[in-house]
Amino acid sequence: MDALEIPTLETERLRLRSFRKSDIEDYAALNADPEVVRYLSGSEPWDRGRSWRHMAFLMGHWQLGGTGMWAVEHRETGTFIGAVGFAAPEGWPGFELAWTLARRWWGYGYATEGARKALAYAFNALEKERVISLIHPENRPSIRVAERIGETLAGRINHLGREMLCYGLDREIYLTEVAPVGGLNSGRRMSEIAIPRRVR
Ligand SMILES: CC(C)(COP(=O)(O)OP(=O)(O)OC[C@H]1O[C@@H](n2cnc3c(N)ncnc32)[C@H](O)[C@@H]1OP(=O)(O)O)[C@@H](O)C(=O)NCCC(=O)NCCS
């Protein structure tokens, strides 16, 4: 299979780029923080091996599914601050947009900024009909991110053995209400972004 060239997206303060081998230190540190993994599957801090395997999963997801999670970099300093992007392995309840930041980067609006860009990419470049986010009912900061980008609560589902809130947004509502053409959040200014292509 030819390798997929993973697109890079930029926002005012962030760069969303492909994960690379050298991210392992930062990614392992992020997942070793009990506060970061509190509402994630298992709720226990990850050891370095698990983070490495998960990075391999994230890279493989792009190759098999054509989309996936980006590593998020602070543009000004080039520092790795977390991950934002898509999860939709086979059997997943929908096309999920997810976000995770290292704790020292919470509270600055970076998750919302990155998620907003990824959402625009999902609807405008990938032309998805619906994007969802699965969130632990007690994960208030994550619920706030979902609401800020325009997602609304669609219901509760049992996901991997846990009850999760299912937030979501339809393309139609996104294009007419959340980011109408010419509006402040217009997601249609994505002409510079090509969908991923296969490279040899
Ligand atoms: C979920 C998570 C990414 C949210 O991080 P966050 O920093 O709260 O979210 P944002 O980056 O959007 O920042 C919003 C906060 O920054 C503040 N902020 C500061 N400057 C801002 C700006 N320029 N723009 C927007 N918000 C800004 C907001 O007031 C808000 O704080 P508040 O919630 O206390 O009011 C973070 O808690 C996390 O990584 N958790 C662990 C992993 C996880 O649970 N992921 C979700 C799985 S479903």
Q: What is the pTM of this model?
A: 0.93
How far is residue 189 from each of residues 97, 150, 182, measured CA to CA in Å?
A: 20, 18, 9
Q: Name the residue at shortest CA distance from atom 33 of ligand 1.
A: 141
Percentage of residues of the chain with pLDDT beyond 70: 90
Give Cβ neighbours of residue 184 (< 8 Å, ≥ 6 apart): none
Range 107-131 average pLDDT = 98
pLDDT tens-digit series, residues 81-93: 999 999 999 999 9
Q: Of the given ranges (2-11, 20-29, 53-62, 118-127), which has the lowest mean pLDDT? A: 2-11
Q: Report which of 62, 39, 40 is spatially closest to residue 50, judged by C-alpha positions.
A: 40
Q: Do the Cβ atoms of 28 and 48 come closer than 8 Å?
A: yes
Say how far apart CA 17 and CA 63 lie, in whole Å: 15
Q: Name the residue at shortest CA distance from atom 10 of ligand 1.
A: 109
Q: Report which of 166, 185, 165, 167 is spatially closest to residue 175, judged by C-alpha positions.
A: 185
Q: Do the Cβ atoms of 51 and 42 come closer than 8 Å?
A: no
pLDDT in the model for residue 196: 67
- 186: domain range? 3-199
What's the total number of domains in the chain?
1
pLDDT tens-digit series, residues 23-80: 999 999 999 999 999 999 888 999 999 999 999 999 999 999 999 999 999 999 999 9
Q: Which atom of ligand 1 is nearest to the CA of 112?
A: 12
The CA 25 to ligand 1 mean position distance, Å, reads 23
How far is residue 131 from each of residues 113, 173, 177, measured CA to CA in Å?
A: 16, 11, 15
Q: Ligand 1: which residues within 6 Å by Cβ?
A: 36, 39-40, 98-101, 106-112, 135, 139, 141-142, 144-145
The CA 173 to ligand 1 mean position distance, Å, reads 23
CATH number of 183's domain: 3.40.630.30
pLDDT in the model for residue 191: 45
Range 141-145 average pLDDT = 98
The CA 4 to ligand 1 mean position distance, Å, reads 31
Q: Cα angle at 35 between 32 and 40, to 5 degrees?
A: 80
